[in-house]
Amino acid sequence: MPLAVELESVSFGYRPGQRVLEGVDLKLGEGEFVAVAGPNGGGKTTLVRILLGLERPSEGRALLYGEPAHRFSRRRTLGYLAQRSELGGDAPATVREVVSAGRLAAGGLIGPLRRRDRELAAEAIARVGLEEYADLPVRTLSGGMQQRAFIAKALAGEPSLLVLDEPTTGVDVESQDSLAALLDGLHSDLGVTIVYVSHEFGAVERFVQRLVLVRRSIVFDGPPSDLPGVWHDPSHVHA
């Protein structure tokens, strides 16, 4: 299986002497759907920022599709929903405008959106169930709906690797389930490689083949069914 992500003996600190991650080895094959879980401060966000090339390992190396992650040439194939995504400034951008920005990121195009871009933005809006809200300012939607708009923005870029960091913060259980089903569809229909970060993984548990638990290092990596019972409640995995 060709690899999308390869982390080899990765250690990382935000300042000298600090060890947020230590000795992390992780290989993700193209087309895998993986959940990353662990306690607050365990290093999940840091791990995905390293695998996307947004931070460089202090030791070890990070590869994306075989290239050094920080110099990866096809960045438009990456979809990233950062933890606590927010709208910049006070812009009264509508759902459709925010989602369309995902197309701009994908194509780097200048000028008006092409028809295909508009179609893909509309498709992404429909996938997250926001059609009725498409032309309303995002800031007037509920927190959970805003989150779905940001998910649609990440989807609109047609990524081959989609990384979602705590995408369901503020999203109700029903919407968590529909997001999980949506990701399952992207994964099985389009073969998108998905990394789903959450300290709770209940909603995606039945869809993922693999769960990675991060607590400074990788303390578990395997099918969710192999997870020792006590760890099913992530609050038991103390930092």
From Mg ion, ligand ATP, none, interface partner of 223 (C-beta below 5 to 8 A by class) = none
| Residue 129 identity (one-letter amino acid) | G
Residues 6-35 that bind ligand ATP (CB under 6 A): 14, 20
* Tokens 């959450």 sit on residue: 198
The residue count for binding ligand ATP (CB under 6 A) is: 12
Segment interacting with ligand ATP, rule: CB under 6 A, options 42-50, 96-104, 156-164, 204-212? 42-50
* Tokens 């779905």 sit on residue: 148
CB 110 to ligand ATP: min, Å: 33
Residues 157-176 that bind Mg ion (CB under 5 A): none
From ligand ATP, Mg ion, none, interface partner of 14 (C-beta below 5 to 8 A by class) = ligand ATP
Q: Is 224 in the site for ligand ATP (CB under 6 A)?
A: no
Could you report how far apart the first and last alpha carbons of the chain are, in Å?
Answer: 33
Give the x-and-dash track for 23-62 against Mg ion (CB under 5 A).
Answer: ---------------------xx-----------------
Q: Is 56 in the site for ligand ATP (CB under 6 A)?
A: no
CB 54 to Mg ion: min, Å: 13
Which of residues 199, 205, 220, 231 is near ligand ATP by CB under 6 A?
199
Q: Is 223 in the site for ligand ATP (CB under 6 A)?
A: no
**Rounded to an integer, what distance in angstroms lies between the CA atom of residue 192 and that of residue 231?**
28
From ligand ATP, Mg ion, none, interface partner of 20 (C-beta below 5 to 8 A by class) = ligand ATP
Alpha helices (H) along the chain: 44-51, 95-107, 115-127, 143-156, 173-190
**How many CB atoms neighbour CB 23 within 10 A?**
14
**Rounded to an integer, what distance in angstroms lies between the CA atom of residue 150 and that of residue 155?**
9
**Rounded to an integer, what distance in angstroms lies between the CA atom of residue 111 and that of residue 61?**
38
Nearest to 210, CA basis, from 226, 199, 198? 226
The first and second tokens of residue 57, run together, are 């390992």
**φ, ψ dihedrals at 56, nearest 5°:** -105, 140
Report the interface residues with ligand ATP, using CB under 6 A: 14, 20, 38, 40-46, 83, 199
